[in-house]
Amino acid sequence: MKTMIKNIFSAALVLGFMLPAVAVAQNADEVFRAVGTPHNPKVQISFNRYYTAEGLDALTKKIADAYPNLVKRVSIGKSYEGREMYLMEITNFSKGDPDRKPGFYIDGNIHSNEIQGGEISVYTAWYLTENYGTVDFITEMLDERIFYIAPTINPDARNNYMKEPNTGSSPRAGMIGLDDDRDGLIDEDLPDDIDGNGSITQMRRKSATGNLIIDPQDPRKMITIGVDDKVPAGVQRYEMLGQEGIDNDGDGRVNEDPHGYYDPNRDWGWKWQPDYIQRGAYKYPFSAPENRNVADFVLAHPNIAGGQSYHNSGGMILRGPGAEEDLSTYNRADVRIYDAIGRKGEKMMPGYRYLTVYKDLYSVFGGELDWFYGSRGIYTFTNEIFTRFAYYKNNNGGRNLSYEVDQELLMGDAFEPWKPFTHPTYGEIEIGGFKKNFGRATPGFLLEEELHRNMAFTLYHAYHMPHLSIADVKEKDLGGGLKEITAVIKNDRLMPTHASQDLKYKIERPDYISISGVDVQAGMIVDNEDFGVTREQKVEPAKLRVRNIPGNGFVKVRWIVSGRGKYTITVDSAKGGLVTR
């Protein structure tokens, strides 16, 4: 009997493994392709809801299992609470050396409550894999480039946001406990979910001296009493008591020592400043382990030429500098490239604006995008996903917009109606307000569009990573057994192999353009072919060291060689890849 059970069990197990993922796809006869979307994908995913850290892990595993030749799923390390941080490497692994292809890095959710990046990451992985071989643009992209995608780089607190009581803006930090009120105790006064609905909303109390009344036309809403307003005697006045919570530590303050607090996006090693200068900084750059894992991965992958981090909200495509004091880091040559990509993004994502962090948002040190660019020379954007524009496809929404959306589009799912409770300090109170999943997180019915548009922007960015080819090779017989070989190395995309920040500090090594198979007598870079202006490289002329191959540009090199054999020219660029002819 026992053996039988075991047999059945193992048979089921084998069956489970052998059943191709296709089994879950729809019958091909039953569907019709909506343009631009995989219509019968191997991996079925609902893109109108959000996933916990484990949910994201399960999805990336499904994608990796379904497309082993396109996806390798690796752990870049553990989070503070010990979760594996999975990153998908996505490329055509059977073509070329994967880590030598120009790489594009994507992550989401560094701020734990800013969740959409997780789903955009999964959507991007899904879209790339399901369209490989069907859509030429995608096929070429995966043949020539590699994507490194980490759906959440704050998995612990992502779960906290979803599973524990929070507002739409908390915890934002990771889960490392800190002493916010400097009293020697750590996270001792967290928010308290008095009404048990999973969201931290607002507390109000009836009060003869209160300055608010309930809107007679909408019981969800409070109206502030103006100086000249005459409130009839029978109308109840209210006072607001702040966020839902109690004074857990008896110090006379409510919710003053929540999770963290530190800001994982003030923890990066470019012009980092301590907490008293830059609120949110932790101990030192990459002292949050999740960020250290990312930084170590990026340092080990000099092929990464473009980067994208997803935040929410406000509909912004952000570039650095984060801090006004760092203005000089972003020089004109690179800003032109940012501008070209950012403006395209404004078109692709209606309602989004292309902005600069320090002047349009806030002036801050230690942000992720500044480290990627300032320290690694990687062109990087941060998108603040979702904007109120999305609700009615216009910017006309006024003060009542949230209430209208709740009623008209979300059928009242966004608002927790006011209900009475007894509070240990405040006595009889009422609790209610907008739930944590409203306001910053995109509503389900808009989510797939949001994911797609952001992905499309990022693919455009990735398309413009350097793309090198040996465009032209000319030979000239110089007599006496000598031959002159001139080669044109072309880069037909926006980004150079070295950002100007990179050139300024020699962040990445030069590009090598080498020739083999012949005896090289001399090697030189050709500055002007027509007038014969060249610069000779006296040492190791067979391996010319070129500082940069410009975007939408070219570099010409020349060798004087002897010997008649077949020769090979190789371009070896850290960010531009490896090309041979």
> Smallest distance, Å, CB 78 to other proteins?
16
Q: Which is nearer to other proteins, 427 or 563 (CB)?
A: 427
Give the range of 21-29, 46-54, 225-233, 281-289 binding other proteins by CB under 8 A. Answer: 281-289
Can residue 286 be called a binding residue for other proteins (CB under 8 A)? yes
Q: Which is nearer to other proteins, 211 or 273 (CB)?
A: 273
In the list 2, 182, 399, 566, the residue contacting other proteins (rule: CB under 8 A) is: 182
Indicate whether 274 belongs to the interface with other proteins (CB under 8 A). yes
| Position 250 contacts other proteins (CB under 8 A) | yes
> Judged by CB, which is closer to other proteins: 180, or 290?
180
Single residue of 110, 507, 520, 549 touching other proteins by CB under 8 A: 507
Task: Quote the CA–CA distance of 110 and 151 in Å, as a whole number.
Answer: 10
Residue 82 CA to residue 88 CA, distance in Å, equals: 19
* Contact call for residue 536 and other proteins (CB under 8 A): no
Stretch that binds other proteins, among 70-78, 143-151, 249-257, 424-432 (CB under 8 A): 249-257
Q: Does the footprint of other proteins cover residue 299 (CB under 8 A)?
A: yes
Determine which residue in the list 375, 383, 454, 514 makes contact with other proteins, applying CB under 8 A.
Answer: 375
* Closest CB to other proteins among residues 200, 295: 295
> What is the nearest approach in angstroms of other proteins to the Cβ of residue 273?
6
Q: How far is it, in rounded angstroms, from Cα 89 to Cα 267?
A: 25
User: For residues 295 and 569, which CB has a smaller minimum distance to other proteins in the complex?
Assistant: 295
Least distance (Å) from other proteins to the CB of residue 372? Answer: 12
Short-list 100, 103, 140, CA closest to 495? 103
The residue written with tokens 């395209």 in the block is 344
In this chain, which of 16, 20, 82, 184 binds other proteins, going by CB under 8 A?
184
328 sits near other proteins (criterion: CB under 8 A): no
Least distance in Å: CB of 472 to other proteins? 26
Using the minimum distance from each CB to other proteins, give the nearer residue, 180 or 334.
Answer: 180
Instruction: For the CB of residue 144, give the shortest distance to other proteins in the complex, in Å.
Output: 23
Q: CA dihedral defined by 221, 222, 226, 231, rounded to 10 degrees?
A: 100
| Range 103-126 burial, b when 16+ CB lie within 10 A, else e | bbbbbbbbbbbbbbbbbbbbbbbb
The encoded tokens of residue 452 equal: 């797609």
Contact 575, 521 (CB under 8 A): no
- Single out the segment in contact with other proteins by CB under 8 A; choices: 275-283, 382-390, 420-428, 561-569: 275-283
Using rule CB under 8 A, residue 325 touches other proteins: yes
Residue type, 281: A
CA dihedral 391, 395, 398, 404 (to 10 degrees): -20
Kindly tell me which of 348 and 546 has the beta carbon lying closer to other proteins.
546
Neighbours of 439 (CB within 10 A): 18
Residue 333 is given by DSSP the state: H
Of 53-61, 198-206, 450-458, 504-512, the window that binds other proteins (rule: CB under 8 A) is 504-512
Provide the minimum distance between the beta carbon of 509 and other proteins in the complex, in angstroms, as a whole number: 3
Using CA atoms, how far residue 157 sits from 82, 125, 171, 267, 269, in Å, is 12, 23, 7, 16, 22
Of the candidates 509, 556, 490, 501, the residue with the CA atom closest to the CA atom of residue 528: 556
Is residue 183 within the footprint of other proteins (CB under 8 A)?
yes
Exposed/middle/buried for residue 427 (C-beta within 10 Å: 0-12, 13-18, 19+): exposed
Rounded least distance, CB 555 to other proteins, Å: 17
The one segment of 247-255, 313-321, 417-425, 478-486 that binds other proteins by CB under 8 A: 247-255
Q: Please state the closest distance from residue 527 (CB atom) to other proteins, in A.
A: 20
- Number of residues in contact with other proteins under rule CB under 8 A: 38
- Between CA 197 and CA 309, with CA 264 as vertex, the angle to 5 degrees is 90
- The DSSP H or E segment spanning 445 is helix 444-463
Q: Residues 414, 405: contact at Cβ < 8 Å?
A: yes
Q: Which helix (H) or strand (E) holds 239?
A: strand 238-243
Long-range Cβ contact pairs of 523-532 (< 8 A, separation 24 or more)? 523/557, 523/558, 523/559, 523/560, 524/557, 524/558, 524/559, 525/555, 525/556, 525/557, 525/558, 526/486, 526/556, 526/557, 526/558, 529/486, 529/556
How far is the C-alpha of 563 from the C-alpha of 559, rounded, in Å? 12
Pairing of the two strands 511-516 and 568-573: antiparallel
Binder of other proteins out of 19, 362, 505, 535 (CB under 8 A): 505
Q: In this chain, which of 16, 20, 226, 252 binds other proteins, going by CB under 8 A?
A: 252
Q: Determine the residue type at 565.
A: G
Using the minimum distance from each CB to other proteins, give the nearer residue, 249 or 448: 249
Task: For residue 160, give both structure tokens.
Answer: 């906290």
Closest CB to other proteins among 158 and 575? 575
Near other proteins in 355-374, by CB under 8 A: 371
- 273 binds other proteins per the rule CB under 8 A: yes
CB-wise, 39 or 543, nearer to other proteins? 543
**Distance between CA atoms of 308 and 372, rounded to whole angstroms?**
9
Q: Cα dist. 240→41, 199, 203, 283 in Å?
A: 50, 17, 6, 36
When the beta carbons of 179 and 218 are compared against other proteins, the nearer one is 179
User: Does 277 contact other proteins by CB under 8 A?
Assistant: yes
| Cβ 430 vs Cβ 203: under 8 Å | yes
Candidate ranges 70-78, 167-175, 378-386, 507-515; the one touching other proteins (CB under 8 A): 507-515
Sole binder of other proteins in the list 179, 218, 449, 529 (CB under 8 A): 179
What string marks each residue from 454 to 493 as x (binds other proteins by CB under 8 A) or -?
----------------------------------------
Our finding on whether 275 is near other proteins (CB under 8 A) is yes
When binding is defined by CB under 8 A, the residue of 295, 317, 414, 451 that contacts other proteins is 295
Name the residues that contact other proteins, by CB under 8 A: 178-184, 249-252, 269-270, 272-277, 283-287, 295, 299, 325, 371, 375, 505-507, 509-510, 512, 538-539, 545
